[in-house]
Amino acid sequence: MKLSKLITLSAVTLSIAACTNTLNNINRDGVLENPNYDDLHWPEIKDATQPEGIFPNLENLDHIGPGVTKKDLYYMIERPHFSEMHGAHEWNYIMKFRQLDRSVKICQYKVLFDENDVAQNFYWLPKDCLTERFDLAADALFPFDRGSLKDIKEEGKPRLDEVATYVTQFGNKAKLRLIGHTDYLGNEMYNQKLSEKRVASVARYLENKGVNGMNITTIGMGESQPIKHCSTDISRKALKECLQPNRRVSVEIIKR
């Protein structure tokens, strides 16, 4: 065989190999041979053909599930971002999501196909990609030792309004988990009830601003989960200020 033909054949072979590249062992039903999430293989973002990724249309993501075809995916979230087009049993994407603080969260998304090129299984990296977490300082929301709805400070309401507006943009699919925390000053049982009262008030406020109350879960943790420890060899006023980070409402938004 002439050298030119060998070169052409090699190029075609490499091209096909690139297009059918699969990182994981996937059976004919589109299921991992080893179903352990921690054993999943993910491509390096630096090796992507589209390393900048995309901001996906969230409504289109809602329509992705078992049974969609490669053609459907191409229409909803475009082509895969790695060399995996023809014959590949998995497609990998780079997804970007704007967070409440305007930062951008970058995730990877994997789709596994069966022998008929029909999508069957889907994975995110990180696994909780569509969950956003942040803390609201309780001192900015409530006067010290207070926690009812009417106690919410005027200066704290714009922050809650911002959260409500942000959550409602995801529609009824978004779930909101509110976790109340206090410092250890005072009685333990009292602090537990105060944390419960505060998250209930925050939930009611957000519901009044349009967040679906059925999608809100509240949990009071009292003083059990401090994030800052302070010396006791200081004045009570200084101790109260030092413990301020522990007085908080933790927010988890599960977007999909």
Predicted TM-score (pTM) of this structure: 0.81
Asked if residue 227 lies in contact with residue 245, where contact means CB atoms within 8 angstroms, the answer is yes
- In this prediction, residues 15-41 reach a mean pLDDT of 63
* Residues 157-193 pLDDT 10s: 999 999 999 999 888 778 999 999 999 999 999 999 9
Per domain, the residue ranges of the chain are 3-125, 131-254
Assess contact for 137 and 91: CB atoms under 8 A.
Answer: no
Whether pLDDT at 251 is above 90: yes
* Per-residue pLDDT, 34: 63
Q: What is the pLDDT of residue 24?
A: 66
* 131-254: CATH architecture: 2-Layer Sandwich (3.30)
